Chain A
């Protein structure tokens, strides 16, 4: 086994991790501000992927441009679904113990998936993408789609960071995350701020779903399957920390893939959890607790 071999594994892991990290970004925002692990994030991503696909199959003649529209559609529809979930379900649960919201979010995930399977069935679907060969960068082989995944995930992270740090909306979100009661009495419009938060989380989920659909296939269980790694990435990188969520995803991804020569391919998922457990033993609040965070 050569160094190049391991480096390629690390690249694979980083890409998978960025994809997971993108969903973790959506999870960590809600977790940090609304204070519960939102299990519907994966299925919101799935809804985004399906709506992007529905649009793209209608306008496939536009070529690569159709993918851009598909991405925008995925983000928009997932954001709307996410907002609807906030108003219909989660708004009434704020202030209750997190486990209730967690259970309601599992329910919301089931509802979304049942609606999609009822109307669109269980068959896999794919985006129409022209396939291109991998690029060679030194000893590394990189798929063009993976460069896109990386660039988009990083861009999304920067956007989230800017919104949280540099806009009035972001400051209000952080204020609510810090102390909801205090934010309320100091006149922060909670419902409007939270709507913004859920829109943002939904758009990120939709983007993650769309990219996952591009890289793999679109199927009803795709988002749910990505959820557990995204949860792990979220708490590894400390809840409420957008940078931490993405880095957490990348760490788990790289650890999983680089471990494969030693533990085999079927154990690698367990490695992700073991890494998470070990880190939490040393740092119970996750890796980046003291750094920039939502709260």
Chain B
């Protein structure tokens, strides 16, 4: 039982770390990024391949922070020129290009065969615990740091500027500030968080293939932050917990429902997720914790 709970906790924390990044993009700055899984994938492959080549894991994590940030720069530039609803589709396309590149660059990524035998987090940091527990510890630290970072960032002048951009970009421009450089920096920071999440995920699961990096992952992160309330750190946390409760809870619900086969349950699960999305957006668009529009900024 413990190992299963640890597994869920690890997933929740991976999604939380991604969600904190996406919340910076959308919740605080209003950038509609639907390609988050692309940064996640880059981080995962960067760190896993580097450590497999014999380099220490902290170096892998550093690369997982750096590469997605670099990949975010061109996306950031594009976001300056594009309408926000175009950006959603462009970023979605970006994440698919990343996945296709991983599939095709076999010399580097082993293509669709995937990368097996990735060192786990315990080996990487020499911790005297199992790989899962080590991943959990590292994720707790990473999330704590990320939350602290987001808090400080959003209360700084920089944070006030990006929230002003979100609320009224023209006004910011009129004040003589260039929204562009802010947007690009936000894109980079959020991408780094997703990349780090990818690295820890890769070292936790110890086997990565391109099929783990489908747009569905991005949708789940979106669900989490909208569910909890965009533009609030507490919203991301609560939203992620709620998402995980549902995704994992539905397994047990099935065990309780005799006569419903797993085959039908797959349909039922998809139905409930879909319906929940509709109802949420329809009746509680500001999320469980309320979003930036419902007062009490920044938290």
Query: Which chain A residues have a beta carbon within 8 Å of chain B's beta carbons?
Result: 31, 35-37, 89, 92-93, 96, 98-104, 106-115, 117-118, 228, 231-232, 234-235, 239, 264, 266-267, 269-270, 273-274, 276-277, 280-281, 284-285
Whether A277 touches B93, Cβ cut-off 8 Å, given contacts A103-B222, A114-B268, is yes
6 closest A-B pairs by CB: A107-B277, A110-B274, A114-B271, A111-B274, A273-B93, A118-B267
| Residues of chain B with a CB closer than 8 A to A100's CB | 226, 281, 285
B101 to chain A, nearest CB (A): 7
Whether A89 touches B282, Cβ cut-off 8 Å, given contacts A273-B94, A276-B93, is yes
Which of B41-49, B82-90, B183-191, B195-203 touches A? Answer: B82-90
Q: Is the CB of A117 within 8 A of B267?
A: yes
A220 to chain B, nearest CB (A): 9
Whether A117 touches B90, Cβ cut-off 8 Å, given contacts A96-B285, A107-B281, is no
Q: Is the CB of B270 within 8 A of A113?
A: yes
Q: Is the CB of A281 within 8 A of B81?
A: yes
Of B89, B101, B219, most buried by chain A (CB within 10 Å of CB) is B89
Q: Is the CB of A281 within 8 A of B274?
A: no
B235 to chain A, nearest CB (A): 15
Tell which of A102, A235, A266 touches B100, judged by Cβ atoms closer than 8 Å: A266
Q: How many B residues, CB 8 Å from partner? A: 42
Bound together, the chains give a CA A205 to CA B92 distance in angstroms of: 21
Q: Is the CB of A98 within 8 A of B85?
A: yes
B145 to chain A, nearest CB (A): 28
Bound together, the chains give a CA A16 to CA B86 distance in angstroms of: 23
Question: Closest residue to B266 on the A side, CB-wise?
Answer: A117
Of A92, A267, A270, A276, most buried by chain B (CB within 10 Å of CB) is A270
Q: Is the CB of A228 within 8 A of B278?
A: no
Tell which of A99, A106, A235, A274 touches B277, judged by Cβ atoms closer than 8 Å: A106
A selection of 18 A-B contacts at a CB cut-off of 8 Å is: A93-B281, A98-B85, A99-B32, A103-B223, A104-B277, A104-B278, A106-B277, A114-B270, A115-B267, A118-B264, A228-B93, A235-B86, A266-B103, A270-B100, A273-B97, A277-B90, A280-B78, A284-B82
Bound together, the chains give a CA A100 to CA B83 distance in angstroms of: 16
B276 interfacial by beta-carbon distance below 8 Å: yes
| Residues of chain B with a CB closer than 8 A to A114's CB | 267-271, 274
Q: Is the CB of A37 within 8 A of B274?
A: no
The A-contacting residues of B in range 108-160, CB under 8 angstroms, are: none
Q: Is the CB of A285 within 8 A of B96?
A: no
Q: Is the CB of B226 within 8 A of A103?
A: yes
Whether A276 touches B100, Cβ cut-off 8 Å, given contacts A99-B26, A108-B274, A111-B271, is no
| Residues of chain B with a CB closer than 8 A to A234's CB | 89
Bound together, the chains give a CA A111 to CA B276 distance in angstroms of: 10
B297 interfacial by beta-carbon distance below 8 Å: no
A146 to chain B, nearest CB (A): 26
Bound together, the chains give a CA A280 to CA B88 distance in angstroms of: 13
Whether A110 touches B268, Cβ cut-off 8 Å, given contacts A92-B282, A99-B88, is no
Bound together, the chains give a CA A117 to CA B273 distance in angstroms of: 15
A20 to chain B, nearest CB (A): 14
Q: Is the CB of A110 within 8 A of B88?
A: no
A182 to chain B, nearest CB (A): 20
